[in-house]
Amino acid sequence: MTDLVPGKRLRSNVGDTEIIVVRSPATQIELSCGGQSMTANLETVAAATTSTDENDTVLGKRYVDTDTGLEVLCTKPGPGVLTADGRQLTVKAPTALPASD
């Protein structure tokens, strides 16, 4: 189990997905992508998995686990759903702000 502190980067074991932790969870959790634990070893080459659009992670989206407050940012997209202890992470709705700068 990896310590999910802000700034921590993790990589999927089933595809190209990479995330960075934005907000820590309140309790220790297991973060997975496509049903397999994510790894802090960024050099790992994941086995090729067939992409199924609706289950892909999306670049630049933030995903949250409402139970623990975990928030991650997808820095590289890939196949597979993100889960925290089996719970599916949800996409954090973007803030509807006008461009101010």
* Strand order across the 18-23 sheet: 9-11, 18-23, 70-76, 62-65, 90-91
Please say whether the beta carbons of 79 and 54 come within 8 A: no
41 interacts with other proteins by CB under 8 A = no
> Which residue in the set 2, 73, 85, 87 belongs to the binding site for other proteins (CB under 8 A)?
73
Structure tokens at 25: 């969870």
91 interacts with other proteins by CB under 8 A = no
Kindly state the smallest distance separating residue 43's Cβ from other proteins, in Å.
11
Whole-angstrom distance, CA of residue 40 vs CA of residue 71: 16
> Which residue in the set 8, 37, 55, 85 belongs to the binding site for other proteins (CB under 8 A)?
8
Whole-angstrom distance, CA of residue 12 vs CA of residue 52: 15
Stretch that binds other proteins, among 33-41, 48-56, 71-79, 83-91 (CB under 8 A): 71-79
Q: Kindly list the residues in this chain that would bind other proteins in the complex (CB under 8 A).
A: 6-9, 20, 22, 59-62, 73, 75-77, 94-95, 97-101
